[in-house]
Amino acid sequence: MLFDEIPQRDLVLWNVMVFFYSQNGFGKEAFELFRSMRHNGFTGDEFTISILIQACISLGSQIGSAAHGLVFCLGLSADIVVCTSLVDMYAKSRQIKDARRVFDGMMIRNVISWNAIIVGYGQEGNSREAMLLLSQMLREGFTPDDLTMSSILSSCAHSTVPNEFFQVHGHVLKNGFHAFKSVCNALILAYAKNGFIKQAFNVFDITPDPDLVTWSSMVSSCAYHGLHREAIVMFDKLLQQRILPDGIAFLGVLSVCAHAGLVELGLEYFTSMKEQYHIQPNSEHYACLIDLLGRAGRLNDAYHLLEKMPVGNNGDVLGAFLGACREQGNASLAKRVICELFNLEPNKPVNYALLSNLYSLVGSWDEVAGIRENMMENCGNKVPGYSRIDIVR
């Protein structure tokens, strides 16, 4: 490696190499290089440490905690770049309480710091905290940007209070954020997931130059509301715009076809995904296709697909087939995949519940008793419960 051949290396060169390893997913190598750097007499600066903190996202919480300790050892706990990296690392690692603790302890913040913590709450679906942070951000004189607004709206997609995203939409319009596709995409999903599909269409109509994410959001939004025909129309318009669909877009339209019973159309999309767009189907696509065939009563076709698909069986695919067998009341085909499914996922209660329901449908009560006994043994307190309602007359 060229770096090893350079006789005199300064801090900038070390930082470049640490950055290279971190950005390319070689987190462990980045830390090993940092140790070598220290051994050669370089302590590192705030840039070095912020790079290492970002590398911790893929390495787990223990390494992240160690990096946090290193921040204190090097006297960088007041540095805005380092602290923002810590907030971002904890937020992306789903440790939102630790992220908030670091954020609240920051003496100096900037828009990037605010975005890091708001994005974290957006990922958690905690719209209440995200909205409170937005209010605090505005009170302290900071100006939100498009990332702030799209993160707030992402959290609103899980909100049960419609006024929250109506307020955010008002702020978006007032401050011109509707010119950003990322904000419009987040608005579409927020409205759709909260039951306002008409408003989602209105946002789509004013979105500047809709991209793949925009079109895919509309396909999934229509599907979410049972508007299967509209979802198909949206997907076809996507293709007419010469936008190249990806695997996620095809997954959305295959799901629509499954729920609408459009078997032949679904098979056409699946074929075009492979042959025209050269997208290799993954297990999710195959699970969707098996669901499509199963709902249409074509269990034998679904089983043949299961046998010959190149990605290998996993719990999602086998679970989809078992669910299809339950829908059609076909216990004999279900028995062919039961052992493999339980070997893959012995502690997943939903698999036992699916099989128990299937045997109940066909009246195999001895089998039901055996399944429930195995479920208690393997799943313990994770067994699905039931509710009782007392009716007073």
DSSP-assigned letters across all residues of 115-132: HHHHHHHHHHT-HHHHHH
How far is Cα 223 from Cα 389, in angstroms, rounded to an integer? 33
* CA dist list (Å): 332 to 10, 20, 303, 351: 70, 55, 12, 16
Q: What pLDDT score does 332 carry?
A: 78
Go through 242-256 and write b for each residue having 16 or more CB atoms within 10 A of its CB, e for each that does not: ebebeeebbbbbbbb
How far is Cα 170 from Cα 189, in angstroms, rounded to an integer? 16
Do 98 and 116 sit in the same domain of this protein?
no
Do 82 and 126 sit in the same domain of this protein?
no
Domain closes at, from 55, 88, 105: 105
Q: What is the pLDDT of residues 215-245, one digit of tens each?
A: 999 999 998 899 999 999 999 999 999 899 9
Do 11 and 96 sit in the same domain of this protein?
yes
CATH assignment of the domain containing 8: 1.25.40
State residue 378 phi and psi, 5-degree precision.
-95, -25
Select the more confidently predicted residue: 165 or 187: 187
Domain closes at, from 140, 166, 194: 194
Domain count within the chain: 2
Mean pLDDT of 144-171: 82
Q: Is residue 121 part of a domain?
A: yes
Per the CB < 8 A criterion, the answer to whether 86 and 118 are in contact is no
Q: Is residue 146 part of a domain?
A: yes
Q: What is the pLDDT of residues 39-68, one digit of tens each?
A: 777 777 788 888 888 877 777 667 777 778
Do 12 and 25 sit in the same domain of this protein?
yes
Do 30 and 125 sit in the same domain of this protein?
no
Do 53 and 151 sit in the same domain of this protein?
no
Q: What pLDDT score does 333 carry?
A: 80
Helix (H, G, I), strand (E, B), or coil: what is residue 372?
helix
Q: What is the pLDDT of residues 268-279, one digit of tens each?
A: 999 999 999 999
pTM of the full predicted structure?
0.73
Do 99 and 7 sit in the same domain of this protein?
yes
Q: What pLDDT score does 392 carry?
A: 45
Q: Is residue 335 part of a domain?
A: no
User: Over 80: is that where the pLDDT of 164 sits?
Assistant: no
User: Got the DSSP string for 286-314?
Assistant: HHHHHHHHHHTT-HHHHHHHHHH-TT---
Q: What pLDDT score does 67 carry?
A: 79
Helix (H, G, I), strand (E, B), or coil: what is residue 160?
coil
Do 120 and 182 sit in the same domain of this protein?
yes
Percent of the chain scored above 90 by pLDDT? 39
Q: What pLDDT score does 386 carry?
A: 41
Structural domain containing residue 120: 109-194
Is residue 99 packed enough to be buried (19+ CB in 10 Å), middle (13-18) or exposed (0-12)? buried
Do 96 and 6 sit in the same domain of this protein?
yes
Q: What pLDDT score does 393 carry?
A: 41
HSE-CB at 18 with a 13 A cutoff on CA atoms is 29
Q: Is residue 370 part of a domain?
A: no
Candidates 81, 156, 149, 92; CA nearest to 120 is: 92
Beta carbons within 8 Å of 139's beta carbon, 6+ residues apart: none
| 230-234, 307-311, 385-389: which is most confident | 230-234
Place of tokens 């007359």: 393
Q: What pLDDT score does 204 carry?
A: 95
Place of tokens 């300064």: 10
Per the CB < 8 A criterion, the answer to whether 144 and 134 are in contact is yes
Helix (H, G, I), strand (E, B), or coil: what is residue 49?
helix
Do 159 and 71 sit in the same domain of this protein?
no
Describe the chain by its helix, strand, coil percentages, rounded to 5.
75, 0, 25
Domain closes at, from 141, 174, 194: 194
